[in-house]
Amino acid sequence: MAIQYAKRTFDLERHLRDAAAGDAEARHALGVVYSCGSFGIAIDLIEAHKWFNLAALAGSEEGQVSRAEISEEMTAREIAEAQRAARAWLRETGNAKPEASSLRLAA
């Protein structure tokens, strides 16, 4: 589903598919959309942190920076929820590596 907003579009399905394939840029873009509430998607800091964390895990320096910045706006409980969501997503998509199950994803 492509979401159109202000003559720009965001292909949510493509980004989700690319994210599942390990694309760090797609993961970061999803984090940006959720952190800013872009393209008609509601702001969701937990979901944004999840995607920034997953981008960082895939090697994105932008993901690391964005995750650190958004963490400053979140409670410890929200960060923990985002970390659980990231681990669950990794398991659900088959992206979990053995070390990821015990990995405490960074705040």
pLDDT in tens, 14-58: 999 999 999 999 999 999 999 999 888 899 999 999 999 999 999
pLDDT in tens, 51-91: 999 999 999 999 999 999 999 999 999 999 999 999 999 99
CA gap 51, 63 in Å, rounded = 8
CA gap 89, 72 in Å, rounded = 23
Residues in the chain: 107
pTM, to two decimals: 0.82
Helices (H), 24-104: 24-36, 45-57, 61-71, 76-93, 98-102
